[in-house]
């Protein structure tokens, strides 16, 4: 591949991640703004104002963004739109090491631009909502958060391997399957870790929040690096062990 082709594919990753973060975290921002003033029941610190119906809506926003980007850019860049996915594909020999950094940088830039775009559209009130930044919720330890992110990213990567990577999979369904498993993850663990599954998805809001006077959550960023990468690696290698796709002619 020429440098020009790599640049175009990296640009596709930037745009794809931008759409994912803008629509996904934007749904969180909108939800929080709509629910301002809602007071949870005394002593119920698990419910911070976003109920299960709202988590469903947020999950579907992420799902729609992912489905759209997989179908828009899957045939161009692979639509990784997630550093953990790129890293796992590299680790299993499906993605060249020389292109890994270009993809990850593009994904991080796309995520950052998406968060700043939300502020440009909604103003500083978006920063006050947290910009959809992921963090540990009440009663969740650092180790539990890492494990939670690893497990849910495992589900995501296993779906990617079985529907998008393995050439034996029925064509045309990858985007739908990947989007829906992310939606399910968000619904189930949104109120535990924010259900990132993606270092770039967490990076964008963290960057904008810290630079615009919002919360400084960088101490929690390792959760959203270690967990997703570990989960993606386990899923990719396990899929190869079970399905042996590389042995199929």
41/123: higher pLDDT: 123
CA angle 68, 50, 108 (to 5 degrees): 45
- Indicate the burial class of 1 (C-beta count within 10 angstroms; 0-12, 13-18, 19 or more): exposed
Residues in the chain: 249
The answer on pLDDT for 237 being more than 70 is: yes
Which CATH number does the domain 6-243 belong to among 3.30.420.40, 2.40.50.430, 3.10.129.10, 1.20.1080.10? 1.20.1080.10
Write the pLDDT tens digit of every residue in 193-211. 999 999 999 999 999 999 9
Question: Can you give the pLDDT at residue 3?
Answer: 73
The answer to whether 81 and 69 have CB atoms below 8 angstroms apart is: yes
The average pLDDT across 169-174 equals 90
The percentage of residues in the chain with a pLDDT greater than 70, rounded to a whole number, is 92
Question: Quick one: pLDDT at residue 46?
Answer: 47
DSSP string over 190-242: HHHH-----HHHHHHHHHHHHHTT----GGGTTHHHHHHHHHHHHHHHHHHHH
Q: How high is the pLDDT of residue 42?
A: 60
For tokens 């959760």, the residue is 223
- State how far the alpha carbon of 45 is from the alpha carbons of 28, 41, 50, 98, 179, in Å: 18, 8, 11, 46, 29
Structure confidence at residue 39 (pLDDT):
55
Residue 51 pLDDT level (bands cut at 50, 70, 90): confident
Position 231 scores a pLDDT of 98
40 has pLDDT over 60: no
Nearest-angstrom CA–CA distance, 109 and 68:
19
Contact 198, 187 (CB under 8 A): no
* Mean pLDDT of the residues in the chain: 92
Model confidence over 54-112: pLDDT tens digits? 888 999 999 999 999 999 999 999 999 999 999 999 999 999 999 999 999 999 999 99
pLDDT at position 120: 97
What is the pLDDT at residue 249? 41
The percentage of the chain sitting over the pLDDT mark of 90, rounded to a whole number, equals 81
Say what the pLDDT of residue 49 is.
60
């Amino acid at each position: 591949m020429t440098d020009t082709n790599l640049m175009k594919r990296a640009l596709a990753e930037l745009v794809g991640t931008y759409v994912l973060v803008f629509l996904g975290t934007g749904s969180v921002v909108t939800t929080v703004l709509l629910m301002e003033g809602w007071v949870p029941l005394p002593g119920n610190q698990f419910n911070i104002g976003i109920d299960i119906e709202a988590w469903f809506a947020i999950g579907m926003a992420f799902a729609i963004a992912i489905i759209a980007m997989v179908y828009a850019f899957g045939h161009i860049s692979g639509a990784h739109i997630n550093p953990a996915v790129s890293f796992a594909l590299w680790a299993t020999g499906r993605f060249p090491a020389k292109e890994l950094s270009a993809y990850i940088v593009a994904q991080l830039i796309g995520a950052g631009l998406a968060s700043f775009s939300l502020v440009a559209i909604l103003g500083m009130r978006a920063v006050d909502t947290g910009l959809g930044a992921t963090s540990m919720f009440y009663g969740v330890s650092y180790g539990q958060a890492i494990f939670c992110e690893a497990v849910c990213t495992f589900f995501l990567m296993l779906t990617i391997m079985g529907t998008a990577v393995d050439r034996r999979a029925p064509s045309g369904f990858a985007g739908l399957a990947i989007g829906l498993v992310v939606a399910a993850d968000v619904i189930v663990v949104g109120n535990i870790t924010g259900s990132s599954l993606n270092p770039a998805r967490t990076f964008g809001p963290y960057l904008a929040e810290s630079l615009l006077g919002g919360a400084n959550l960088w101490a929690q960023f390792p959760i959203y690096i270690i967990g997703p990468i570990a989960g993606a690696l386990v899923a990719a290698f396990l899929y190869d062990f079970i399905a042996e796709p590389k042995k199929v002619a």
